Amino acid sequence: MSRRSRTARFATTRTPTRQGGPPPRPEARRAEPPSRTRPVRLAIFAGLVLLVGGVAIGLVVTRLQGPGATDAAAIQVRASMGGFDPPALTVKAGQTVRVELTSMDTSMHSDGGGWHQFAIDALDIDWKVGPLSSQVFEFTAPGTAGTYDWYCDICCGGKENPSMQGKLTVTA
């Protein structure tokens, strides 16, 4: 069926109703719905703004509430579900490296309970830190240059998750 014929049929079926009923007021009818839905739309919009804003503020507050550095001499490494910060470290060969590992996550996380790990198998490093806490660890960097991958195998699907990995570079 062509577009034109469908329009024609629509027009003929509508005509009798219009003539038989009360005088049509298309303007009034058309103007009503927007004025009625506008407050609803505004309310929905305001609700979304509040929701998004609330979530954003919550995230910022959670970040700020994370434990701060307690050891100024240590390299600060923060772990959260989002990954390691920083995701890479560079140290000198043979250097005694002091790292303060902090978990920025709360115990409310169902995946790992806010615990994170910093493990480098080749260097026998296996550090773990609990929710919203930090701990200072030390190790001696290898005597030769090289790179080592570290991982956390506690949360987020384990050490295969790219966000739960980092790279330690040892320079000569």
Residue 52 falls in which region: left (phi positive, over 0), alpha (psi -120 to 50) or beta: alpha
Residue 155 interacting with Cu ion (CB under 5 A):
yes
Among 77, 164, 168, 170, binds Cu ion (CB under 5 A): 164
- 3 state DSSP class of 47: helix
Q: Which is nearer to Cu ion, 155 or 168 (CB)?
A: 155
> HSE (CB half, 13 Å, CA atoms) of 109?
20
Tell me, residue by residue from 62 to 101, as one string, x for binding to Cu ion by CB under 5 A and - for no binding.
----------------------------------------
Q: How far is the CB of 87 from Cu ion (least distance, A)?
A: 12
Spell out, one character per residue from 110 to 149, where the chain touches Cu ion: x when CB under 5 A holds, - when not.
------x---------------------------------
The continuous run of DSSP H or E covering 169 comes out as: strand 165-171
Amino acid, single-letter form, for residue 51: L
